[in-house]
Amino acid sequence: MPINTNYLSGLKIKAEKAMEKKAALGPDIDISRYTQSGERRRVESLEDLSHQMKEAAVMAGMNIKEELRSGSYMQVDRSVVYESLNKAYEGQLEIMNITDALEKYDWLEDYYWKALPVDHDKYTAQVELNLTHGYFIRVFPHQKPQFPVQSCLLVAENHISQNVHNMIIVEEGAELQVITGCTLAEEEAEGVHLGVSEFYVKKGGKLFFTMIHNWAENFHVRPRTGAIIEEEGSLVNNYVMLKPVKSIQAFPVAYLKGDMASAKFNTVVYGLRDSYVDLGAKIILEGENTRGESIARTIAADESVIYARGDLVAKTKGYCLAHLDCRGIVFSKKAKIFAIPELVSEGAVKAELSHEASIGPIAEEQVEYLMSRGISREDAVSAITTGFLNLDIPYIPDFLDKNIKEVIKATAEDAL
């Protein structure tokens, strides 16, 4: 049965009232400037995509041949062009677009817009009022697919707004790996990507989520993410952005509702040209014996501006442990990094919250040491940069790890 229409109507009323509500952080965007594209036909295989689209998808983490994948989802602009579930995993999980999921399951009323409010700001409101699909991924109770699900949200047309609502549900005792890439087929494209994502991890479940962002100089990005983790559940969220962007502002929130729940955010960002980057993560520890960690590695080059935020909020009456680690390197006299950690204890007398933050240039003594070993200055700086940004992200496929390292190396060389 479809989701209750009265519930959807109530959401739209709230969204309409928030269409002029500016976001608390990041530069404001006039989203009325951007249009919505026409429909695209589906493809029988990812190999049927254009060369340009395939190239962009690969750089965002997609395996075009779908090797070592349990399923795939591909969206171009506003159209779902490919959905596939590996036959070996039928009965373990399901993959479809969110529009079809809302038509299929009335119980989605218990999840849809429950991890973040539809009227959070005008960007969440826009997604609800002008939805252009997004993925729905659900792994069934106690199932643990060996290989990750992959998805790609690609923008191919110029001057459009891609508005997606994604949802992942990890049922009790289940485990899931997801690799998602958001990217452009044309680097000169101007537009905006509005992405709402909701993650639900049930009792004892585990979600390993990796997001690769490859944008361009004229593109605005406003992701909005909320995650609810139940008892003994865990979330590992990896985020990588190594290309320029006009502006991006995101501040995902993980709610550790159940006892012994945990969340970890790993963020790797390279600011280039005049990119405006405002990223961070917030972990709210509500259950007892909950644990949270947020690690950020940022490099600002050229005239880029980076805000690296991290919030830990302890609300539990029992014990909890959480840590922030934010480190940045400034490559240019015109670049800026702002590290903004925040620790909050709301009557959590047993909470242990800590943070460390540092910003500075590459240590010249490290460069000179490597040069004394016969390494050129360019290679020395590249090696130090690669090591600094390498968080050794867990569960990331080898080919994707290699791609990230190659981009980091090339970007470091360009910054010299």
Residue 160: predicted pLDDT: 94
The Cα diameter of the chain in Å comes to 71
Q: What's the average model confidence in pLDDT over 245-271?
A: 96
Q: What is the pLDDT of residues 5-60, one digit of tens each?
A: 999 999 999 999 999 999 999 999 999 999 877 789 999 999 999 999 999 998 88
pLDDT band of 206, cuts 50, 70, 90: very high
Do 301 and 403 share a domain, yes or no? no
Q: What's the average model confidence in pLDDT over 56-84?
A: 94
Do 322 and 397 share a domain, yes or no? no
Is the pLDDT reported for residue 393 higher than 80? no
Is the pLDDT reported for residue 201 higher than 60? yes
% of the chain exceeding 90 in pLDDT: 80
Do 392 and 353 share a domain, yes or no? no
Residue 391: predicted pLDDT: 64
Q: What is the pLDDT of residues 108-126, one digit of tens each?
A: 999 999 999 999 999 999 9
Do 307 and 399 share a domain, yes or no? no
Q: What is the pLDDT of residues 175-194, one digit of tens each?
A: 999 999 999 998 888 999 99
Do 152 and 224 share a domain, yes or no? yes
Residue 38: predicted pLDDT: 77
| E strand intervals along 126-275 | 135-139, 149-155, 160-170, 175-184, 191-201, 206-214, 219-229, 234-241, 247-250, 253-256, 262-271
Read off the pTM: 0.93
Q: What's the average model confidence in pLDDT over 127-154?
A: 97
Dist CA 151 CA 72 (whole Å) = 6
Residue 407: predicted pLDDT: 60
The better pLDDT of the pair 26, 394 is held by 26
Could you tell me the two tokens for 266? 């790993």
Residue 172: predicted pLDDT: 98
Do 372 and 324 share a domain, yes or no? no
Residue 36: predicted pLDDT: 76
The better pLDDT of the pair 328, 89 is held by 89
Domain coverage including residue 27: 5-361
pLDDT band of 399, cuts 50, 70, 90: low
Do 369 and 349 share a domain, yes or no? no
Q: What is the pLDDT of residues 241-254, one digit of tens each?
A: 989 999 999 999 99
Of 88-102, 217-231, 368-382, the range with the lowest mean pLDDT is 368-382
Dist CA 373 CA 379 (whole Å) = 12
Residue 384: predicted pLDDT: 72
Is the pLDDT reported for residue 358 higher than 90? no
Q: State the sign of the Cα–Cα–Cα–Cα dihedral 407, 409, 413, 416.
A: positive
Do 227 and 278 share a domain, yes or no? yes
Do 251 and 391 share a domain, yes or no? no
Residue 376: predicted pLDDT: 78
Residue 334: predicted pLDDT: 96
Residue 188: predicted pLDDT: 86
Dist CA 415 CA 330 (whole Å) = 11
Closest CA to 268 of 191, 212, 196: 212
Do 327 and 402 share a domain, yes or no? no
Domain total in the chain:
2
Do 89 and 19 share a domain, yes or no? yes
Residue in the block written with tokens 């050794």 = 392
Do 411 and 290 share a domain, yes or no? no
User: What average pLDDT does the structure give for the chain?
Assistant: 92
